[in-house]
Amino acid sequence: MGELIGIGLMVAIIILAASVHKYVNQKNKTSIPSQAEDRIMARLEELDRRIGDIQEIIIALDDRMVREKRDG
């Protein structure tokens, strides 16, 4: 009976070790997507800046058209 308890404990320790190993591997894999996420965020910030520039140009053109319509 004591041998069965020892075997059971060994199996439990192996399962626990395998679970910890899998958890650590998944944690390490999530750091790689964070690098990709940083690149994506940088690209989105650049796009946001460009869209802001385009928006300013459109507003300036709209103001110009309103002035021309009012004066002309």
> In this structure, what token pair is assigned to residue 37?
């996420």
pLDDT reported for residue 31: 61
Q: Where are the domains of the chain?
A: 35-72
pLDDT digits (tens, 9 = 90+) for 34-59: 788 888 889 999 999 999 999 999 99
Task: Please give the full DSSP string across 33-64, using - where no structure is assigned.
Answer: HHHHHHHHHHHHHHHHHHHHHHHHHHHHHHHH
Question: What pTM was computed for the model?
Answer: 0.49
**What's the one-letter identity of residue 37?**
E
